[in-house]
Chain A
Amino acid sequence: MLGLGIVKGLIETARNFLGSYVDKNRLVTVQFPEERLPVAEAARNFPFLIYDGVDPEQGLRCVACQICEKECPPRCITIEKSKDKKPDFVGKSQFYPAVFDIDVSVCMSCQICVEVCPFDAIRMDNEFELSTTDRFGGLLWTKEKLARPNEHYLAIHPTEAAEVEARRAEEKAQAEAKKQQAAVTQ
């Protein structure tokens, strides 16, 4: 009968209209910024550098190997190696980055830098309310802006961080054991 399809459609919209007052599934708006959805653990936005301890300069894990700079698809990372070295968490002497810039307006949040870093030094943050009114440098983040303590990493990506901690603790234990062995055989 002509018109029956239209009537069925009208019934469907009426069901949604009335349902929106009683059923949460039929009113899906989350009124940002008063209400916020919980951010997924794996959510990624822009990278940050991890430092252990309290001093961002001393504890920075990055050894300026420049692998992330090479692998970054839009080439948004700029690294300059330092001239001197400092010891890392197992005691080995490593370079550190004198300059580590990420142009966040170019970064496409692809996370390849995180995947290829052999030193667990760079990870993805999930902060997204980052707009700035400074056109000329506001989105070019330097090492100071990028450095965050390890606690931050543990807070935002707990399961991933737990694995990384376990692995680093093991490596540190192995290095300690080797040092003990070397000291004993001396």
Chain B
Amino acid sequence: MLDGIAVDQVFVSLKHWVLGYSPAAIEPAVSILLTILPILLVFPVLFALTTVLERKGLGRIQNRYGPNRVGFFGILQPMADALKSLTKEDIVPASADRTVHFLAPLVLLAVAFLPYAVLPIGRNMIAANLDAGVLFFFAIGAISELSVFMAGWSSRNKYSLLGAMRAVAQMISYEVPLLLSSIAVIMAAGSLNTVDIVNKQAGFSGIFPHWYVLTPWGFAGFVLFMISATAETNRSPFDLPEGESEIIAGYYIEYSGFKFALFFLGEYLGMFAISGLGITLFLGGWGAPLSFLTWIPSWIWFFAKLLGLIIGFIWVRGTLPRLRMDQLMNFAWKFMLPMALVIVVSAGAWRFLPQGVTRWLISTLFLAVAYGLLARGVETRNKIAKRTYRFAE
């Protein structure tokens, strides 16, 4: 048992040990450095691994190998990609606004790293334990939309402008269901502090944990949250702004070389951050899924769940075609927003009804009725109907 706790807290102990050896004058600076350095190292490495994982995963889905020439099973492919993007010529269009063009990827990168400060990666492992952690996360997350528009506008290209406007419209529309589904969690936990939210989900009843995803409103909220997250980070099936086959690369069409790689890095970091928040809010943060697995260190659980969500993203990307712009917006405003409101109501019902079968039934009833009505609306609006065909002899 002591071993389990020791491994779980190994990074915290390491930090305290190093702090013990540093002179008192620079101790705060060293503390800050030791807190943020792991974030700056771990998540870009995770980004590199994810690019390989994505290409190999997509490859296997499509009955082919992914990259497998560079290193064992292609594991060094990100190095080759990094070298490639570093050695490419940096082309800036002659009529582009040079300052804004240069700043856009930097803004994206800076803003992409900030939300990690409020994610609890393990027990006692959070960079900044803010009382309004979730609020901070959403506030910072919205700034990344600015960099998208900076990129599109400064490139002086019709395609990139189209892409940027679409991207901003999409991101703003999907902020609303994202926030509303997390409001249900905040209501249930009673706090905006991410550590509190994780602690509220830390108990077990029997072998099953108290994660919010295992309640009816939590499950629906999680699904809505992940759909909004996919839309926020411009991933398939919501990647129309970077619609490869229609407007080529959309808002970063005029970027080449390393700046292009920075955009990718920013997009993936955003994906990890929002998945991390999803894990914190719905999947119990660093908690174990079954009561007899608590001996596995907490940070391993966090990264395992993150990996699971990344695999989910890749799986969905490999399967679904992309939604058109107006369908995307209709889906956000006319399906997800009412659904998110009903989820809040359902969460309220769950919170205030006594424990037992009744609250399960009432919660699920709210959700099922709302889903049925809204789904009918989506189908008629998009004219989705099963068709039968006649044949002539």
Q: Which residues of A contact B (CB under 8 A)?
A: 1-3, 6, 9-10, 12-14, 16-17, 20-21, 26-29, 31
In the complex, what distance in Å separates the CA atom of A6 from the CA atom of B319?
8
Cross-chain contact of B315 among A1, A13, A27, A29 (Cβ < 8 A): A13
* B61 A17 Cβ-Cβ under 8 A: yes
Task: Contact check, B65 vs A29: say whether CB atoms are below 8 A apart.
Answer: yes
User: Closest CB of chain A to B255's CB: distance in Å?
Assistant: 31
Tell me the dominant secondary structure on chain B's binding face. Answer: helix
Assess whether A31 is in contact with B65, with CB atoms less than 8 Å apart.
Answer: yes
| A-B pair number, CB within 8 angstroms | 43
The CA-CA distance from A1 to B315 in the complex, in Å, is 21
* Bound Cα distance from A3 to B64, whole angstroms: 28
B318 within 8 A of A: yes
* Pair A10/B57 contact, Cβ less than 8 Å: no
- Selected contact of B320 from candidates A6, A14, A21, A31, CB within 8 Å: A6
| Chain B, range 304-321, C-beta contacts under 8 Å to A | 315-316, 318-320
- How far is A26 from B65 in the complex, measured between Cα atoms in Å? 10
B315 contacts across to A, CB distance below 8 A: 10, 13-14, 17
Contact A2 B375 (CB under 8 A): yes
B60 within 8 A of A: yes
| A9 in contact with B320 (CB, 8 Å) | yes
From A1, A2, A10, A26, contact of B63 by CB (8 A): A26
Contacts of A28 in B (CB 8 A): 63-64
Chain B residues at the A interface, C-beta cutoff of 8 Å: 57, 60-65, 315-316, 318-320, 371, 375, 378-379, 384
Q: A14-B315, A17-B61, A21-B60 are in contact. List 6 more A-B contacts (CB 8 A).
A: A2-B379, A3-B375, A9-B320, A13-B61, A27-B63, A29-B63
Check A20/B318 contact, CB under 8 A, given A1-B375, A2-B375.
no
List 8 A-B pairs, minimum CB-CB distance, nearest first.
Answer: A2-B375, A13-B319, A20-B60, A29-B64, A17-B61, A13-B61, A9-B319, A17-B60
- Chain B residues with Cβ below 8 Å from A16 are 60-63
Task: Give Cα distance in the complex from A14 to B314, angstroms.
Answer: 11
In the assembly, what is the distance between CA of A162 and CA of B62, in Å?
A: 43
Chain A residues in 8 Å Cβ range of B375: 1-3
- In the assembled complex, the CB of A145 is this many whole angstroms from the nearest CB of chain B, namely 34
Determine which residue in B62, B63, B384 has the highest number of CB atoms from chain A within 10 A of its CB, and name it.
B63
Contact B378 A2 (CB under 8 A): yes
User: Residue of B at shortest CB range from A6?
Assistant: B320
12 contacts between A and B (CB under 8 A): A1-B375, A2-B375, A3-B375, A10-B315, A16-B61, A20-B61, A20-B63, A26-B63, A27-B63, A28-B63, A29-B64, A29-B65
Give B378's nearest chain A residue, CB to CB. Answer: A2
* B residues near A6, Cβ cutoff 8 Å: 319-320
Check A27 against B65 for contact (C-beta < 8 Å).
yes
Q: Give Cα A65–Cα B293 distance, bound, in whole angstroms.
A: 86
Q: How far, in Å, is B223 (CB) from chain A's closest CB? A: 9
Name the distance in Å between A71's Cβ and chain B's nearest Cβ.
Answer: 42
